[in-house]
Amino acid sequence: MSIPQWYAGQVITADRMNARNVRYVSQNSDMAMVNQGTPLATEIVIPVEAGAVYYYNCLISYSARSGLANCLGFSWDAPSGTALARFTLSMNPNGNEGASNTPNTMIARRPANTTQVPAGGSSDENPPLNFQSAYDQGTITVGSTGGNVVLMVRQNVDGGSPSETNTTILRGGNQTRCFFQRIG
């Protein structure tokens, strides 16, 4: 199926018409993590078809304390042969704690699918109250196997042990969401 080209004599079906629509998925509820060093699946799930290409824009809302042990780490789990050309922007995990409106350094990356991107926080409370944002956008090129591309999150991306007392929260409701569209 060619998207968005149409050819003379081609049958127009609902599936072909709807394949071009922008779709939306969201994290419905907060996901609180304490001492969570293993990636967890979120409700951000993008269903993909074999051989297709998608554009996506994921807006991530979270609350965390500063420091690598408490930051949010995010990556993607994808079917075998699927490649994401990711472009990410997040706050440095070693930023200023207790100052949500104080400028902090940012991390702009072009990581692989499974590379954890750290997203630092600024709260000095536990559980953290300040809301932070991270962005992940790009294209998904699906190989010969379709399935689901799933946003994965965890605490701590430095390989050490996460804090056994501090909470990191992926925000739900209308906070964390992803828009995606088949483009080829």
Enumerate the domain spans of the chain: 22-182
pLDDT of 99 = 61
Which residues, 6 or more positions from 11, have their beta carbon under 8 angstroms from its beta carbon?
Answer: none
Q: Which fold has domain 22-182?
A: Jelly Rolls (2.60.120)
pLDDT of 101 = 67
pLDDT of 98 = 57
pTM, 2 dp: 0.88
pLDDT of 37 = 83
pLDDT of 2 = 45
pLDDT of 4 = 59
Count of C-beta atoms within a 10 Å radius of residue 125: 12
Which segments of the chain have a pLDDT < 70? 1-4, 95-103, 157-164
CA-to-CA dists, residue 32 to 1, 54, 164, 165, angstroms: 41, 30, 13, 12
